Amino acid sequence: MKIVSALQMDKIDSETIKEQQISSIELMERAATAVFEQLRNSYPRLDQQAFYIFCGKGNNGGDGLVLARLLEQQQAEVHVYLLDAETYSSDNRVNRERLPDYLIRTVKPEDRLDIPKNGIVLDCLFGYGLRRPLAVTWANLIGSINHSGAYVYSIDMPSGLLADSHTGPEVPVVQADWVYTFQSPKLALLMPENQPYVKGFSVLNIGLSERAIGQSVTPYFYVDGPLLHSFYRKRQRFGHKGTFGHILIIGGSKGKMGAVQLALKAALRAGCGLATAYIPACGYSIVQTAIPEVMVLNDNEEQLIAQFPQLAPYQAVGIGIGMGTGQQTVDAFRVFLSRRINTPLVLDADALNILAKDSALWSFVPKHSILTPHPKELSRILGPWQTDFEKLERVKAFAAQYQLYILVKGANSAMVTPGGEVYFNSTGNVGMASGGSGDVLTGILTALLGQGYSPLEALLMGVYVHGRAADIAVRSIGTYSLLPSDTIDALASAFLELEQR
């Protein structure tokens, strides 16, 4: 799914109206009806709910006015707060006339309002079209929403949040419990810095022109099931263990053999044909006993890795998890990279930490390798950043410079390609924020690379399936108690979903 800019969305709206020979007010009715259906599903007894609808002077406000009419027709209690303005959009005016005057109260940005905490707020003040930050004069009206304690839905965008660029912390912005956005996610909804304003969102398909969307050029995409289905490979009848790749996981040190076990178990669940571990000698019995399906090679050193094996037998290699940064390991890793390796690598954890301390090594990393840093590891590589938008641009530049695929971990993890494209993931939950989750992902990615998926395909599918497995697991476990091993157990169900679709 493409993520388009505000200007592109304007054009797509216009092209839809021309192509489908509808009026702009009909398109507004369609969008508002899509939100109304979501609300009706969430609140089957609308007649027992009170809605406080804040409407701006433009078409986002028009959406709110249509919603007010649809809700009022279902005997819901409706209170409309319409921004006091000299001019309104034509569609806004038409829909205002369709409502009885007693439902509407005009308000100004500096007004303070009392909203019952058992009410439901629909924020329709500003949509994706906001071009500049709101002035501090909006603090009272928006503060009334934020401090009400009511559940807040924002329509298209939380009012005050810029769709395509950074919004400063001093700017008044609605803190939405949920956002219903139309046709395509907006870039700002996916940025961690905007978490206070976007606790979650849904993308509602309102039938905009597929041709116009297809012609829109953008480097940003949202990973969903249909994208994965375009390259997912079903297994053939005569496939065998050699068909599905022999992968190698290199890592571990004394006290950190669990990381290797998690990666290996995940790799097996992700379908690799053969898996081998290369670990310190102290882990040999541990891994051999815990995971009988894998083969084990051990270093001569007891507690750490002091040399690296030849990679000729393997189709993909995951390296770094639990490896440590002892001097012997660092020296051996330098020698390893200097071999000018051609085998695809998945670099995580201590492999990244070693590289971050010696920038000269980056030129030896095989092109199209996959990097999976968590935020602290990423900052060690790039240095500090001020905003998530700046961070993304710096990652894109780094990926282009060294021709790497880089995963920026977090909610809606961003996957950056050497060509500057960015794919945001649509699965996963906060229960994954625990030690070992990254090790699981390293195993999945390595397994997919070993099966012949391209680095981009492996990254998109691996991150999606990892998150989807966690989403399946939390149904019965919850986010507080989710363990990385629970995610591994649910991988089969996540892959089965892809297979069945």
Annotated binding residues for AMP, as ranges? 409-413, 438
Contact partners, residue 2, CB within 8 Å, separation at least 6: 184, 213, 216, 218, 220, 221, 222
Q: List, as one string, the DSSP characters of 10-60.
A: HHHHHHHHHHHT--HHHHHHHHHHHHHHHHHHH-S-GGG-EEEEEE-SSHH
Binding-site positions read: 59-63, 123, 127-133, 156, 159, 259, 322, 374, 409-413, 438-439
Task: Report the candidate in 200, 176, 180 with the shortest Cα–Cα distance to residue 190.
Answer: 200
Distance CA 7, CA 210 (A): 17
Q: Buried b vs exposed e over 121-134: b needs ≥16 C-beta within 10 Å?
A: bbbbbbbbbbeebb
Return the bridge partners of 279, or none. Answer: 298
What are phi and psi for residue 316, nearest 5 degrees?
A: -160, 150
Distance CA 432, CA 452 (A): 27
H/E element, 407: strand 405-408
Contact predicate 52/81, CB 8 Å = yes
Contact predicate 24/17, CB 8 Å = yes
Distance CA 307, CA 334 (A): 10
User: 120: exposed, middle or buried (C-beta count within 10 Å: 0-12, 13-18, 19+)?
Assistant: buried
Binding-site positions for K(+) read: 60, 123, 159
Task: Report the candidate in 164, 204, 158 with the shortest Cα–Cα distance to residue 187.
Answer: 164
Binding-site positions for (6S)-NADPHX read: 59-63, 127-133, 156, 259, 322, 374, 439
Return the bridge partners of 77, or none. Answer: 50
Q: How far is CA 408 from CA 260, 263, 341, 374, in A?
A: 22, 19, 24, 7
| Helix/strand/coil percent split, the chain, to 5 | 45, 15, 40
Pull the structure tokens for residue 319.
């390296």
Question: What does DSSP say about strands 77-83 and 50-55: parallel, antiparallel, or unpaired?
Answer: parallel
Angle between helices 350-357 and 375-382 (to 10 degrees): 20
Distance CA 305, CA 329 (A): 5
Task: Report the candidate in 200, 455, 193 with the shortest Cα–Cα distance to residue 317.
Answer: 455
